[in-house]
Amino acid sequence: MTTKNMFVLLFALFVLTGCVALITPKVESSFTQLKAGDYALDPSHASVVFKVKHLGLSNYVGRFNTVAASLSFDPSNITASALDAVIEIDSLDINDPSLKNDLMGGTWFDQARFPQARFSTVSVTSVSESEYDYVGNLEFRGVTKPITFRVTFLGGANNMLTGKYTLGFSARAQFNRSDFGMDAYIPLVGDEIQIEAEAEFQRN
């Protein structure tokens, strides 16, 4: 490589590094710095994954690709937060079309009768400085039962790519599928379902 080409490469790297630094957000993790308001889920930066024991040998993993959610958030009064989320059941992604078709049937998700699952908060309680329990109702397969999401707030920042203030968090929950009428093949397929969600919410 010639000296001139080396100079051009180094200059390009310098410019790119500077651009990345300009658009990298300054994330505020202190609640006092976060912004109150109504937020909507950024579906491009969200995932909802479930895990269930299979034959006691492994955790079978699936993902729902179509999720919508809204969040009312006030850092000075977190316990007044309200979260509402809807999952489209037919957006299930397990990388196996034949098995997915079976899971959409009446033995499992019964998607034709119950095309959506919904979670809506009832109360929010503090666990630690950054963790909260979002207690709410899960509507799934025509049954409504209370479950609790342990929510960890990761911070907030102005997103230079979207021009919107954004909050990020992780959430975990578990419930028994048999409570919602999905009780086939227990214990070959486990009863307990683990839910893991990662999400960015954009301020309206």
Residue-wise pLDDT for 144-179, tens only, equals: 999 999 999 998 998 888 889 999 999 999 999 999
98-130 exposure pattern, b = at least 16 Cβ within 10 A, e = fewer:
eebeebbeeebbbbeebeebbbebeebeeeeee
CB atoms within 10 A of CB 178: 13
**91, 66 Cβ separation under 8 angstroms:** yes
* 43-54 per-position pLDDT tens digit: 999 999 999 999
- Burial of 43: CB neighbours in 10 Å, binned 0-12, 13-18, 19+: middle
What is the number of residues in the chain?
A: 204
| Encoded tokens for 132 | 């909260």
Q: Kindly report the number of other CB atoms within 10 A of residue 202's CB atom.
A: 18
For the chain, give the mean pLDDT.
Answer: 89
pLDDT score recorded for residue 161: 81
Asked if residue 17 has pLDDT above 70, the reply is no
Give φ, ψ of 130 to 5 degrees: -120, 0
Provide the pLDDT confidence category of residue 6 given band limits of 50, 70 and 90.
low
Query: What's the CA gap between 182 and 20, in Å, rounded?
Result: 48
Domains of the chain by start residue, with CATH: 28-203 (2.40.128.110)
pTM: 0.83
Contact 125, 133 (CB under 8 A): yes
Q: 108: left (phi > 0), else alpha (psi -120 to 50), else beta?
A: alpha
Dist CA 99 CA 164 (whole Å): 39
Other beta carbons within 10 Å of 95: 9
